[in-house]
Amino acid sequence: DDNLDTVLVEFDDETGVGTLTMNRPDALNALSGQLRDDIVAGLQQLEAENDDAEGIALRAVVLEGAGEKAFCAGADIGGFSDESAGATSAPSHYDFVREFPVPVIAKIDGYCLGGGLETALACDFRLASEGSTFGFPEVNLGILPGAGGVQYVSKLAGPSVAKELAMFGNHISAERAAEEGIINHVYDEDAFDDEVEAFVTELAGQAPLSIQAIKKSADMAVHSGLEEGIAYDGQLFAELLKTEDHAEGAAAFGEDREPEFQGK
């Protein structure tokens, strides 16, 4: 596995699960320009697992933070004026994560703040340990969450929850974040690794083309009207009907056996 300066990259070819670990634990994994670039490079490295594979090798990606304290404490406070002025290279890791073809799961153990929370919101799933905390402290720095944080939370939890988080800058618990629909699940600290592994392994075993189409469909739902979204789903459905995996799924059903999906 090729590691980058600030991100550890792993790939498990049994399950098809890739893991990216943001690795600046002494700075609570704050998003320096380097870390943001390395997240993109790490995802590109994982995507390259598909190059020599039959079908789709990479099925899901876990994004986590190194160290005991944080998923990510946000933009690097020393450097983010430069970065927002465009000093870091494109594409933005937020867009890259959101548009990545396979699901990205944010595994959150500790602080998940500011740009760190926006990174988690760009992921498809957010799974957190019990003691994790969430917040948008940007207001304390005289700015706002600059990568869509208020937009995401307004859609997931409603605008008044988004305003409360972003206007007060306080942290909320994982339990409250789950109640508000900002994160998917909260697990006990002891069971956290196993629960996340079970979630991700099951997800990675699902029919890969279905998963990719469902990701596109859900993202479409968020930024389109219902009619446009249903029409889009119709197109995705027509494409999936033509795949070998669909033929295999239907055959397996008829033969009363488990299907073997190849991502073709």
Q: Which residues are catalytic?
A: 75, 115, 118, 138
Q: Which of 84, 89, 224, 235 binds ligand HXC (CB under 6 A)?
A: 84
Burial of 179 (C-beta count, 10 Å sphere; 0-12/13-18/19+): middle
Q: Which of 28, 182, 200, 204 binds ligand HXC (CB under 6 A)?
A: 28
Whose CA is closest to 106, among 33, 174, 44, 54?
174
d(CA 114, CA 146): 9
Residue with tokens 């986590």: 64
Q: Which of 18, 42, 114, 263 binds ligand HXC (CB under 6 A)?
A: 114
Q: Which of 18, 65, 74, 208 binds ligand HXC (CB under 6 A)?
A: 74
CB of 118 to ligand HXC, least distance (A): 6
73 is a site residue for ligand HXC (CB under 6 A): yes
Binding to ligand HXC by CB under 6 A, coded x per residue (else -) over 122-151, reads: ---------------xx--x---xxx----
Whose CA is closest to 43, among 19, 25, 24?
19
75 is a site residue for ligand HXC (CB under 6 A): yes
CB 77 within 8 A of CB 33: no
The strand pairing partners of 185, in sequence order, are 127
172 is a site residue for ligand HXC (CB under 6 A): no
Site for ligand HXC in 176-195 (CB under 6 A): none
| Closest to ligand HXC by CB, 78 or 234 | 78
Q: Which of 71, 96, 111, 187 binds ligand HXC (CB under 6 A)?
A: 111
d(CA 103, CA 205): 12
Amino acid at 157: A
Q: Is the dihedral of CA 231, 233, 235, 238 positive or negative?
A: negative
Residues that bind ligand HXC in the complex, under the rule CB under 6 A: 27-28, 30, 73-78, 80, 84, 111, 113-115, 118, 137-138, 141, 145-147
